[in-house]
Amino acid sequence: MLELIRFNPRIWFFLGFLACMGLLAMGAYFQFVDGLEPCPLCISQRIAILMTGLCFLAAVIHNPKSTGIKVYAIAGAFIALCGGGISTRHVWLQHLPPDKVPECGPGLDYMFQNFPLSDTLRLMLSGTGDCAEVTWSMLGLSMPAWTLVAFLMLATLSILQIWNRQN
């Protein structure tokens, strides 16, 4: 059974890259077609998806041997799990009681123009009241919850390449 899905790790990294690009395309669709404006945590999750995809693309282009596959697999899983941590924070904010939700902050454009970069990044990663609002859900899960599932799948795909590499 395992032999049926034992592709070359380069192919799996490429499929992971395509999955990341698909996730970014979905985010763009929701933003530009459906009109859902992303909150700071959504932007942070998109950056983590992009970084995971770039790690996978680097593995595809480099086509490493056994040790390199392990390095790319660990790096890809680490980046994906960092994104999963951001998604977990986002889901947690969405499940807070209304009186515990942090106050809404200024828009990202305003923050980048008027705040130091360190403050802007801190606000982006901690989330604001905007992040607690659930504007879309499917099968009872919000968009950040689905993004968390995607990050966990990407991390799993990445780690599995350690055992999938050619010895």
Q: Residue 7: inside a domain, yes or no?
A: no
Q: Residue 130: inside a domain, yes or no?
A: yes
Q: What is the pLDDT of residue 128?
A: 59
* For the ranges 6-15, 86-95, 127-136, 150-159, the one whose mean pLDDT is highest: 150-159
Q: Residue 46: inside a domain, yes or no?
A: yes
Q: Residue 81: inside a domain, yes or no?
A: yes
Domain range for 151: 27-164
- Quick one: average pLDDT of 6-20? 88
Q: Is the pLDDT of residue 1 over 50?
A: no
SS3 142: strand
Q: How many domains does the chain have?
A: 1
Q: Residue 14: inside a domain, yes or no?
A: no
Banded pLDDT at 104 (limits 50, 70, 90) = low
Q: Residue 15: inside a domain, yes or no?
A: no
Q: Residue 12: inside a domain, yes or no?
A: no
Question: Tokens 């901690």 appear where?
Answer: 126
Residue from 59, 58, 56, 48 nearest 23 by CA: 48
pLDDT digit string, tens, across residues 126-153: 555 566 677 777 788 888 899 999 999 9
Q: What is the pLDDT of residue 167?
A: 46
Q: What is the pLDDT of residue 52?
A: 97
pTM beyond 0.95, yes or no: no
Q: What is the pLDDT of residue 153?
A: 96
The answer to whether the Cα torsion of 107, 80, 20, 57 is positive or negative is positive
User: What CATH code is carried by the domain that includes residue 125?
Assistant: 1.20.1550.10
Cβ 161 vs Cβ 9: under 8 Å: yes
Q: Residue 99: inside a domain, yes or no?
A: yes
